Structure 1
Amino acid sequence: MKNYYTTEKYLKRYLKTKLKRGDIFLKQLNYGFILDFEQFLRRSLNSKKQRSLGNNGVMKHLERFKKMVNLAVKLEWMKKNPFDRFQLRFNKFDRVYLTERELQLVEDIEFKQDRLQQVKDCFVFSCYTGLSYIDIKGLTSEKITRGIDNRNWIYTKREKTNELVRIPILPQAWEILERYKNGPMHNGLLPICSNQKVNVYLKEIASACGIYKNITFHVARHTFATTVMLSNGVPIETVSKLLGHTKLTTTQIYAKVVESKISEDIGNLLERFQAKEYKSAIEKKEKENGLRGGTIDPKSYHNLTAHGS
């Protein structure tokens, strides 16, 4: 709702400054209005006289505006949809995530300040569960249960999509829960402050670890998908279920950036090629020597091939 109110604020500002009006009728919305509003958003300046929105920020405002217009068309308040010929153009970026080495650096560092230590622990917990900030904030003991394997699991619904997720609690995450089990009382199982403060403190933590990436709390979720899961051979279908994605295509975004997994898969492919060549060479030597039934000892393969065929 906060984001929709922000879009509304920009719309009202556009109407006032460009059209010199406080409001217009829905039937006055047309393709030209959308193009002009887009340019207005692109040229908007903040208090420091700097551009306040990038391309994707502009597209998100137009996306919200489009949803409202689509609703108006469905309710038959409008006969034509001015967005029919308008295409939202988002710039694609690789998802930021921590590598195995960087994650280890964050895990190993200890802080004397409670605020940094607590944020670090919550961040690491997210790296090993894939839970978002809002889902960790709402995590309670009632959502921890025993699974079919007699291990501890998290059963919860994602705040964003209302999708049910079942996540086995890895030892690294369980250790953090145990650490705060008998600590001071707070709303959830973990002592997590506001999202804004968390992201400010994470920049301090990243700097202390020598990690030069733009770290936000959501990076932990990306790290869970890539470094913890996909890089260790967990099938993408399983990762999709653990993340609570409704579409597999959403999870595939993470799979594109796991270079180490690609390297490992290619290494396995090359090993299979070598095994086939080895088997083919053995069969060829057996045929040449009039042998049947695999009587050549694999250990003597190099002796046979050393003399040529």
Structure 2
Amino acid sequence: MKTNLSLLFFLKKPKNYKDGAPRFIYLRITVDGQRAELSAGREIEPDRWNAKAGKAVGTKEETKTLNTFLNKFKSDVSAVHTQMVAEGAEITAERVKLRYLGKDEPAPSHTILEAIKDHNIKIEALVGQDYAKGTLKRFQVLERHIGGYIQHQYKKDDLDVKKIDRAFIANFDFYLRNEKKNANNTAIKYLKNFGKIVRICVDNKWLESDPFVGYKLKSKPVQRDFLTSDELRRISLKMFVTERLTQVRDFFLFSCFTGLSYVDVKKLKPSDIIVGVDGSRWINIYRQKTGTRVPVPLLSVAEAILDKYKDHPVCIANDICLPISSNQKMNEYLVEVAELSGVKKTLGNRVAKRTFATTVTLCNGVPIESVSKMLGHTNLRTTQIYAQLLDEKLAIDMAPLKELFKNIPVQANAATEQNALAEQTLKAFLQILYPNASEQQVTSQIHLLKESLLQAV
């Protein structure tokens, strides 16, 4: 913390002072306009003192010795101030004085792993209330990665939080990618989590500024699988010889037709099924991850699955809707379900949620705002990640447009004003039809439409 320091010696009158008698020499410490006084433990006659220069006058050896002492005294106080600045301590005139006298405790140092552990203890106490277990697990893994990085880079067990700077972050980024073999998006997630720890340190005044400011954390787009209507049909119609695989398939289908996460399905109770505003059965719960209310009208497939297991012994004994294994076991069994159903995709809850968002809802004309509410998202942009445009949906939506423009003559390789106007009209229509589509998607669809029109003529 930068502060303005001023040091000046002056003479102070003792009680019952007599003119001409020696006065005590004091050092006035001024920090940002605030003052504190510190005795030098020396005295001098007023006529031998230069008040403006703050030192003794004369050529005698005694005078030179006193001034040397005063210069050293001032230098020591100044060094205390410099040390406090380096520590990032709160600096006042009184604290500089106390630190010099040995009565001010230095600001306690805090370590990086201490900050993460403290954060994780608080998160663990709130699991099930404000946080999910997955959140705690991610920060516990971050703690291990940071510990490993400090050992690898600095050969130490821990470091003071003040060692966190841009170089520390950049080298940790490299460590995650090179030593831990993390993919870009995985490394970015750990860095973002670490950024939260750093911001807490800044808020606690353990760090003067946030070194993450200006550091670019850019995730790369990834292919997010979901099931097509044909793949969903194959899984639905497949007959399994074991009850184990049948139950797992039913759980997966229930997620596909409700959009609920594993944990929300696992804790779903019969009392969570209500009669909705339309007179049919709805799911009415609060998502564990975000705490937002999730109203989901039950489709016939989901209703049939609930009715199938309403008298199951496990469901009755535990007051739940579906008999569900652990998430790890579910994922293992879903590998078998996919293979036996002839689906070449890795099934899981995320695939189920994306299937609900695309194939089940958006592809059938459900507005994205309604889909977002059923998924329990607090931000529409989160839903847009799930809401990928399907080719069959594009074909259905573009059919009226093709009919509208089928009589417009188009000449290949002719850059006429008519063609330019037609292309602008097409682009504007597509942007209205698909407000969330990217520029590349719109351009690609215009190109395909041109080719089909050329073939028609």
- The TM-score normalised by the length of structure 2 is 0.57
Q: How well do the aligned residues superpose, as a CA RMSD in angstroms? A: 1.7
Aligned-pair CA distance for 1:85:
2.3
Which residue of structure 1 lines up, in the alignment, with residue 44 of structure 2? Answer: none
Deviations 1:68-108 (A, max 9, x none): 11122223321111111211121111321000000000100
Q: Indicate whether 1:226 and 2:355 are aligned.
A: no
Equivalent residue number for residue 216 of structure 2: 87
Q: Kindly provide the amino acid, as one letter, of the partner of residue 20 in structure 1.
A: K
* Post-superposition offset of 1:10: 0.6
In 2: Cα distance, 1:16 partner to 1:117 partner:
48
The runs of 5 or more residues in structure 1 that have no matched partner are 46-50, 277-309
Which residue in 1 is equivalent to 2:238?
109
In 1: Cα distance, 2:257 partner to 2:267 partner = 17
Number of equivalences: 270
1:1-309 aligned at under 5 Å gives the runs 1-45=136-180, 51=181, 53-186=182-315, 187=318, 188-273=320-405
1:303 aligns to what? none
Whole-angstrom distance in 2 between the partners of 1:128 and 1:268: 29
Query: How big is the shift at 1:130?
Result: 0.5
Instruction: Note if contact 2:252-2:348 (Cα within 8 Å) is conserved in structure 1.
Output: no
Q: Helix, strand or coil: the match of 1:167?
A: strand
Q: 1:183 to 1:256 in 2, by over 3 A?
A: closer
Counterpart of 2:140, as a letter, is: Y
Checking the alignment, whether the CA contact within 8 Å between 1:126 and 1:220 is kept in structure 2 is yes
Partners of 2:183 and 2:236 in 1: CA distance: 34
Contact 1:230 1:258 in 2 (8 A): no
Moved more, 155-164 or 181-190: 181-190
List gaps (5 residues or longer) in structure 2. Answer: 1-135, 409-457
- For the Cα contact (< 8 Å) 2:147–2:157, is it kept in 1? yes
Counterparts in 2 of 1:272 and 1:143: CA distance versus 1, 3 Å: farther
Deviates more, 1:179-188 or 1:144-153: 179-188
- Rounded to whole Å, the distance in 2 between the matches of 1:220 and 1:148 is 26
SS of aligned partner of 1:77: coil
- Aligned residue identity for 2:188: M
TM normalised by structure 1 equals 0.83
Quick check: 1:55–1:90 contact (8 Å CA) kept in 2? yes
Q: Find the aligned partners of 1:199 and 1:257 in 2 and give their Cα distance.
A: 27
The answer as to whether partners of 1:31 and 1:85 remain within 8 angstroms in 2 is no
Distance 1:177 1:139 in 2: 11
Displacement, 1:168? 0.4
SS at match of 1:85: coil
1:300 aligns to what? none
Structure 1 distance, partners of 2:389, 2:324, is 29
Does structure 2 conserve the Cα–Cα contact (< 8 Å) formed by 1:94 and 1:257? no
Greater alpha carbon shift after TM alignment, 265-274 vs 113-122: 265-274
- The CA distance in 2 between the partners of 1:140 and 1:59, in whole Å, is 37
When Rg is computed on C-alpha atoms for both structures, the one with the higher figure is 2
| Helix, strand or coil at the partner of 2:294 | strand
Do 1:145 and 1:153's aligned partners in 2 also have CA atoms closer than 8 Å?
yes
